[in-house]
């Protein structure tokens, strides 16, 4: 079982603010890192799958970076909007034939209008 | 179907009763997963099916929990003699099995044991 830490646990920002949060994971045996967004009363949706050290991915106002050597990933949201309010989950995958993700507890983001 | 379908969406059951949760994955997805989230907790892995391989049951919390999958189609998660601590949102996800792709989750079943 991988030890996955996400911080902060929750975050309140004002509309228009930019924000970021962290996912820490074991750097040994790293294969990939997934980010998901989980809105209340909906199902989690995949945002990014990242595999390479130094990788940066972007989708609209959301971007993520990956440091596999030190075992962390940052998720950034530029100009937060109320519709960005959700729990953001990260899940590292350490490889092997069993493709099973271990999820962090998530960061709950609330964007106030 | 276009997405992962779970039923029922909500289930209230009395302590001690058995419940069965259903998941219909995306057609062609070889991998199927069950997770749950109890109040205040993270997503907890329960069981994983990959094609015709033996399932990974390492996350099932007790022998009251079991799951089946017929081929690469529907899966059912059965909880026998439900307890209050079984109350949670039970999520099913499927994937193509390719490690570069994420999971596609269903909307979940909210189970409340009273």
CB pair distance less than 8 Å for B35 and A51: no
Indicate if the pLDDT at residue B97 is higher than 80: no
pLDDT value at residue B41? 86
Residues of chain A contacting residue B4, judged by C-beta atoms under 8 Å apart: 43
Tokens 């929990």 found at:
B65
Sequence-separated (6 or more) residues with CB below 8 Å from residue A57: A48, A50, A63, A64
Instruction: Please determine, for residue A9, whether its predicted confidence score (pLDDT) is greater than 90.
Output: yes
pLDDT for the residue B102: 85
**In the prediction, which pLDDT does B1 show?**
53
Q: How many other C-beta atoms lie within 10 A of the C-beta of residue A20?
A: 14
Measured between beta carbons, the chain B residues lying within 8 angstroms of A100 are 33, 45, 48, 56
pLDDT of residue B42: 86
Residue pair B58/B44 in contact (Cβ under 8 Å)? The answer is: no
CB A98 within 8 A of CB B56: yes
């Amino acid at each position: 079982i991988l030890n996955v830490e996400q911080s902060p646990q929750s975050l309140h920002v004002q509309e228009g603010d930019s924000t970021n949060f962290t996912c820490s994971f074991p750097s040994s045996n790293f294969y990939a890192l997934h980010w998901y967004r989980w809105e209340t009363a909906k199902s989690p949706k995949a945002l990014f799958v990242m595999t390479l050290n130094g990788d940066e991915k972007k989708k609209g106002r959301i971007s993520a970076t990956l440091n596999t050597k030190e075992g962390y990933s940052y998720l950034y949201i530029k100009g937060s909007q109320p519709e960005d309010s959700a729990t953001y989950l990260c899940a590292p995958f350490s490889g092997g034939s069993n493709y099973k993700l271990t999820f962090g507890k998530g960061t709950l983001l609330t964007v106030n209008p | 179907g276009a997405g992962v379908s779970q039923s029922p969406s909500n289930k209230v059951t009395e302590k001690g009763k058995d419940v069965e949760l259903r998941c219909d994955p995306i057609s062609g997805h070889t991998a199927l997963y069950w997770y749950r989230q109890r109040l205040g907790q993270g997503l907890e892995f329960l069981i994983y099916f990959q094609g015709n391989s033996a399932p990974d049951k390492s996350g099932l919390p007790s022998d009251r929990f079991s799951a089946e999958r017929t081929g690469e189609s529907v899966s059912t998660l059965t909880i026998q003699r439900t307890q209050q601590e079984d109350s949670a949102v039970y999520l099913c996800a499927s994937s193509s099995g390719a490690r570069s792709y994420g999971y596609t989750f269903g909307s979940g079943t909210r189970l409340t044991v009273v």
